[in-house]
């Protein structure tokens, strides 16, 4: 495989030559029903990716196909699936795809078949979840568990929380919901205190998640919770399972009901389809729902192997994002799901994207001289319309938009007002926004003038069910991976989080040796040790 | 008063000449304990604004003071307080400051003293809240109200919801909490359906909030809820109050228990200190808590009249933001509260800032040729550290940061682990991050190298109590206002939300006359009328 910086490729030069056409792309003429019907790529789980409202014509698409070929996106993806060391800095394989199915060769690591290992853990926590849901594993006082509380931060929190919220109403509607899930993440003691006070601890099982078993926030919150359990007369060991790596201090520890394992080849932000997401989702909704979620993701992973960019939604999304980031020079992008169930999905994508590609050096540690990962933010529509859309429509910067919408809601509980149900109003708003952003509106009063030319894409499907959610998640994971290949980055490490950890320890030890740290500590009332 | 575009001011030229010094500002040398002690401005409610980690030295500050004087920031603010028509496009006064106290002259509009009007409404809804809390206003079946559900969107949702979450734990700890609050905002029917299913309707009072009384989402959700109440055998009229303007269809309507009024001079995103925030907060926490919240905001409003920018935190924050946006050319900014209670405060600021200053024309409707409002996003620390901070530390773009922290937590429930309580760990992380962003760290391995030079400011105080929250809210409202004055914008209208509304109606009516709207409608399963 050939790893070269993006600005050293022939495609970089070619795309630069096409920039004037991209800047003058006129949606008010080009965005018609024919383009909307044609500009679609299939996704897994019954979803489709529609990119009609992107400023890309035939020459740009052709150059993007050349870029995909030149940077060997599919070759590198296949190498990753086959278990090559793609996280080069940390010298690790990248195996989250293997959690949901085999798309590459058998991966053997130190004599262990990792596909089998992941399946075995899936089977183990599925069985555990079934027993809890059946009331066969019970708490100290003999009561069944009604609540599951995840203790974790970052990838052990954002993804699982977003997935739980995304499926909660679907599971209620379909009779799958058994346990309520809660999440403790922040080291701010108000977080753990409030969650612990909101549940009956005797009916609660905690899921402690830390791959390394050394995450400061998570260990503090574990002891916080154990203290509460003990004070309530309960045995902590009967109310907690661990999700960790086999080499962590939490592994095979009799202090927990059971432990389920991942390994160093499952990055935190890519761990929703591992035990990190699997235990809590299986407890809440059952292993079958989690299995359907994995199936959707696996189907998406297979579609992502397609070499024709027009048939590969993840690659196409990645390339259009590169076109907007590096050539049209848009520094941020907004994710706008028209589904209340996806209320925290943008927060998960924020981590997924910004932690993966928020890098300034290439995979060999040399500084790059082009922009990499953008700022990602978002809130559900229609809420965002009454908030930050003003800037999206009429601000001085252009921000590309990722819309998501579904024909049906999840709860099948709706009311007709003024001739339409709320679901129709929701989608009418979505449709209207795409057109308004792209086409704008002329007006003699410049205050009421909409310049248009604000690009978007739309992921749409019938309903947000487990398979559709798995597809959606894997789409973005793979999109981010492909962008990392284009930018020649290592999307799988996060060295940028280390300095803060080191300085925090110095502050807590009271020996920072830095007058700035001492002065700020004084402002925040930190007493010196 | 003199309204000129920013790039026509003498300060614009002066600041441009200072740009090289700003770009080369070396925090690793300059950020020491002396600078940290000196670079502080007082705020209301016991808070302070520390800007030591901003790339601004004496010449820049002097030029920013000249800019404040030249663009007449305080003069314009005083004019606004005095009731002048500062929302020029809509020809409206801007009177949210008057909700919390008199800082300018008496404002008479069509013979009505508006300060008295706002106080009268405050008194009316305070009395209503007291009666509900005392169990003297009760539901259909004679039960006291235990839940209050706000139905509103945009400013009728984000601000009140963020303020509720910010004070919930404080109120519980201090014995003020009486009703639980919930919020329905999205027209996605899953939102209203899930909230309605989660409460005992016989013990629930709804607060319907729409200034115009015509907000599509809110009216659909009102009927959604009334349908549920009726089906539960309850009288909707005994379970709902309205917050609206006196000229709206919701006003003086016997369909509600009572109605509380605002007017056109209270913008949605500036309405948290009106009945829009006041009714729900007073029901949940009592009128006294809301009154202390207003007092904090009022004190902040008074401090914002100070002409010396080094003594006026809101002006200084505004000017440093302009320096970063227009000269250092940073396109976005992150809000990072180290307090779980402020989990939705960034979402409120996102609306406040992006809807106010996300404009491309000046207050006279002429196109501006400089950048205005930035993208605003954020999540609470320490959660964000395990998510998007990678990009903040090592991404290709620099993003200015707004930290917020408190010496004490709200629930006074903490645990000591490894020699420190969680609150200390929380603040040690905050302190470490400021230094890490500013100073960076050299490393032979470029993957572990932190460039530093990433500016931040810190708002800090003892505890997030009602007065501190009022101060914090007003600080940002006033900051955004001052930036609008610098950019010569109207920060108080939102014409950018209109086009979407018009097109939505066309889609719903089935007569869009636009093949693109029709094609997207087909994708989303919208049946033609």
* Cβ within 8 Å, pair B383-A219: no
Same domain, A379 and A230: no
Supply the DSSP symbol for B199. Answer: S
* Cβ within 8 Å, pair B395-A372: yes
Q: Which of A431, A440, A499 sits opposite B524 (nearest CB)?
A: A431
Q: Which of B407, B436, B502 sits opposite A524 (nearest CB)?
A: B407
Order of strands, sheet of B456-461, starting from the edge strand that comes earlier in the sequence: B40-42, B48-50, B456-461, B401-406, B332-338, B375-377
Q: In chain A, positions 162-221, which contact chain B (CB-CB < 8 Å)?
A: 168-169, 185-194, 216-217, 219-221
Q: Does B249 touch chain A (CB under 8 A)?
A: no
Q: How far apart are CA B214 and CA A283, in angstroms?
A: 43
Domain-terminating residue out of B294, B328, B354: B294
Q: Does B233 touch chain A (CB under 8 A)?
A: no
Same domain, A355 and A284: no
Output the pLDDT for position B529.
45
Same domain, A52 and A118: no
Q: Does A359 touch chain B (CB under 8 A)?
A: yes
Q: Does B268 touch chain A (CB under 8 A)?
A: yes
* Nearest residue to A457 via CA among A504, A405, A407: A405
Output the pLDDT for position B231.
98
Q: Is B133 within the bounds of a domain?
A: yes
Beta bridge partners of B261: B244
> Averaged over A400-411, what is the pLDDT?
98
Q: In chain B, positions 90-109, which contact chain A (CB-CB < 8 Å)?
A: none
The domain in which residue B188 lies consists of 108-294
Same domain, A269 and A150: yes
Radius of gyration of chain A (CA): 24
Number of domains comprising chain B: 2
Q: What's the whole-number average pLDDT of chain A?
A: 97
Q: Is B489 within the bounds of a domain?
A: no
> Between A and B, how many CB-CB pairs are < 8 A?
497
Q: Six-digit token pair at B293?
A: 């919240």
Output the pLDDT for position A529.
45
CA angle B45-A387-A347, nearest 5°?
A: 85
First to last CA, chain B: 53
Q: Which of B37, B340, B524 sits opposite A460 (nearest CB)?
A: B524
Same domain, A505 and A365: no
Output the pLDDT for position A528.
54
Q: For A370-396, how does the pLDDT look when each residue is reduced to its tens digit (9 = 90+)? A: 999 999 999 999 999 999 999 999 999
Q: What is the DSSP code string of A352-406?
A: HHHHHH--SB-TTSPBPSS--S-EEE---TTGGGGTTHHHHHHSSS---EEEEEE
Q: Which stretches of A39-183 are DSSP H helices?
A: 58-70, 73-81, 114-133, 158-173
Q: Does B524 touch chain A (CB under 8 A)?
A: yes
Taking a C-beta distance cutoff of 8 angstroms, is the pair A225, A192 a contact? yes
Same domain, A84 and A130: no
Output the pLDDT for position B511.
80
Same domain, A199 and A112: yes
Q: Does A430 touch chain B (CB under 8 A)?
A: yes
Q: For A128-169, how does the pLDDT look when each residue is reduced to its tens digit (9 = 90+)? A: 999 999 999 999 999 999 999 999 999 999 999 999 999 999
| A355 annotated active-site | yes
Domain-terminating residue out of B246, B278, B294: B294
A265 to chain B nearest CA, in Å? Answer: 18
* Cβ within 8 Å, pair A396-B365: no
Q: Is B387 within the bounds of a domain?
A: no
Same domain, A215 and A277: yes
Q: For A161-205, how does the pLDDT look when each residue is reduced to its tens digit (9 = 90+)? A: 999 999 999 999 999 999 999 999 999 999 999 999 999 999 999
Q: How far apart are CA B249 and CA B251, in angstroms?
A: 6
Output the pLDDT for position B90.
93
Q: For A38-86, how does the pLDDT look when each residue is reduced to its tens digit (9 = 90+)? A: 999 999 999 999 999 999 999 999 999 999 999 999 999 999 999 999 9
A275: pLDDT strictly greater than 70: yes
Output the pLDDT for position B138.
98
Same domain, A144 and A189: yes
Question: For each of chain B's 529 residues, which pLDDT tens digit applies?
Answer: 999 999 999 999 999 999 988 889 999 889 999 999 999 999 999 999 999 999 999 999 999 999 999 999 999 999 999 999 999 989 999 999 999 999 999 999 999 999 999 999 999 999 999 999 999 999 999 999 999 999 999 999 999 999 999 999 999 999 999 999 999 999 999 999 999 999 999 999 999 999 999 999 999 999 999 999 999 999 999 999 999 999 999 999 999 999 999 999 999 999 999 999 999 999 999 999 999 999 999 999 999 999 999 999 999 999 999 999 999 999 999 999 999 999 999 999 999 999 999 999 999 999 999 999 999 999 999 999 999 999 999 999 999 999 999 999 999 999 999 999 999 999 999 999 999 999 999 999 999 999 999 999 999 999 999 999 999 999 999 999 999 999 999 999 999 999 999 999 999 998 888 999 999 999 999 975 4
Same domain, A416 and A441: yes
Same domain, A366 and A323: yes
A408: pLDDT strictly greater than 70: yes
Q: How far apart are CA B143 and CA B411, in angstroms?
A: 30
* Contacts for A282 with CB less than 8 Å, ≥ 6 apart: A125, A126, A128, A129, A289, A290
Q: Does B24 touch chain A (CB under 8 A)?
A: no
Q: In chain B, positions 272-301, which contact chain A (CB-CB < 8 Å)?
A: none
Supply the DSSP symbol for B67. Answer: H
Q: Does B136 touch chain A (CB under 8 A)?
A: no
Among residues B58, B386, B416, B446, the one annotated as catalytic is B386
| B246 annotated active-site | no
Q: Which one of A157, A357, A381, A387 makes the best mutation probe of the B interface by having the most chain B beta carbons within 10 Å? A: A387
Q: Is B336 within the bounds of a domain?
A: no
B90 to chain A nearest CA, in Å? Answer: 11
Q: Is A462 within the bounds of a domain?
A: yes
Q: Does B329 touch chain A (CB under 8 A)?
A: no
Q: In chain B, positions 41-60, which contact chain A (CB-CB < 8 Å)?
A: 48, 50, 52
Among residues A8, A91, A231, A386, the one annotated as catalytic is A386
Model-wide pTM > 0.90: yes
Q: For A200-237, how does the pLDDT look when each residue is reduced to its tens digit (9 = 90+)? A: 999 999 999 999 999 999 999 999 999 999 999 999 99
Radius of gyration of chain B (CA): 24
B112 to chain A nearest CA, in Å? Answer: 30
* Contacts for A456 with CB less than 8 Å, ≥ 6 apart: A53, A54, A400, A401, A402, A403, A433, A434, A437, A438
**pLDDT level of residue A527 (50, 70, 90 thresholds):** confident
Q: Is A299 within the bounds of a domain?
A: no
Q: Is A447 within the bounds of a domain?
A: yes
* Contacts for B20 with CB less than 8 Å, ≥ 6 apart: none
Q: How far apart are CA B169 and CA B172, in angstroms?
A: 5
Same domain, A223 and A334: no
Size of chain A, expressed as the number of residues it contains: 529
SS3 helix, strand, coil % of chain A, rounded to 5? 50, 15, 35
ipTM for the predicted complex comes to 0.97
Domain-terminating residue out of B294, B326, B361: B294
Q: Is B334 within the bounds of a domain?
A: no
Query: What's the CATH number where A282 sits?
Result: 3.40.50.10490
């Amino acid at each position: 495989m050939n790893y070269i910086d993006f600005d050293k490729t022939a495609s970089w030069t070619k795309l630069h030559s096409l920039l004037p056409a991209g800047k003058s792309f006129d949606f008010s003429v080009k965005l018609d029903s024919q383009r909307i019907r044609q500009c679609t790529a299939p996704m897994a789980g019954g979803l489709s990716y529609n990119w009609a409202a992107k400023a890309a014509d035939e020459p740009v698409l052709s150059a993007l196909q050349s870029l995909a070929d030149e940077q060997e996106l599919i070759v590198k993806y296949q190498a990753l699936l086959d278990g090559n060391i793609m996280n080069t800095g940390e010298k690790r394989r990248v195996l989250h795809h293997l959690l949901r199915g085999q798309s590459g060769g058998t991966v053997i690591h130190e004599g262990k078949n990792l596909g089998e290992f992941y399946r075995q853990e899936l089977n183990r926590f599925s069985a555990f979840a079934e027993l809890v849901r059946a009331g066969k594993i019970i708490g100290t006082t003999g009561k069944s568990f009604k609540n599951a509380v995840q203790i974790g931060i970052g990838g052990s929190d954002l993804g699982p929380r977003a997935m739980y919220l995304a499926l909660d109403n679907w599971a209620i509607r379909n009779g799958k919901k058994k346990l309520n899930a809660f999440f403790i993440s922040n080291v701010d003691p108000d977080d753990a205190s409030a969650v612990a006070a909101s549940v009956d601890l005797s009916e609660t099982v905690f899921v402690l998640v830390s791959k390394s078993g050394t995450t400061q926030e998570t260990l503090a919150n574990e002891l916080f919770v154990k203290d509460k359990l003990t004070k309530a007369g309960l045995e902590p060991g009967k109310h907690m399972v661990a999700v960790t790596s086999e080499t962590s201090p939490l592994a095979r520890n009799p202090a927990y009901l059971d432990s389920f394992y991942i390994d160093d080849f499952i990055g935190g932000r890519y761990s929703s389809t591992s035990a990190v997401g699997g235990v809590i989702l299986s407890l809440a909704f059952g292993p079958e729902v989690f299995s359907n979620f994995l199936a959707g993701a696996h189907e998406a992973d297979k579609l992502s192997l397609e070499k024709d960019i027009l048939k590969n939604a993840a690659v196409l999304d990645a390339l259009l994002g590169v076109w907007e980031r590096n050539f049209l020079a848009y520094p941020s992008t907004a994710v706008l799901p028209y589904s209340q169930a996806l209320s925290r999905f943008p927060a998960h994508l924020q981590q997924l994207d910004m932690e993966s590609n928020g890098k300034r050096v290439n995979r060999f540690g040399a500084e790059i001289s082009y922009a990499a990962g953008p700022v990602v933010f978002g809130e559900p529509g229609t809420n965002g319309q009454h908030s930050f859309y003003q800037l999206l429509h009429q601000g001085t910067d252009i921000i590309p938009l990722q819309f998501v919408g579904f024909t049906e809601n999840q709860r099948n509980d709706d009311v007709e007002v003024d001739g339409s149900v709320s679901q129709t109003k929701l989608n009418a708003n979505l449709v209207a926004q795409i057109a308004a952003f792209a086409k704008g509106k002329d007006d003699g009063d410049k205050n009421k003038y909409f310049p248009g030319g604000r690009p978007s894409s739309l992921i749409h499907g019938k309903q947000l069910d487990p398979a559709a959610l798995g597809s959606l998640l894997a789409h973005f994971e793979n999109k981010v991976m492909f962008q990392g290949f284009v930018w020649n980055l290592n999307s799988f490490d996060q060295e940028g989080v280390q300095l803060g950890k080191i300085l925090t320890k110095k502050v807590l030890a009271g020996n920072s040796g830095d007058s700035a740290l001492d002065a700020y500590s004084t402002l925040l009332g930190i007493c010196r040790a």
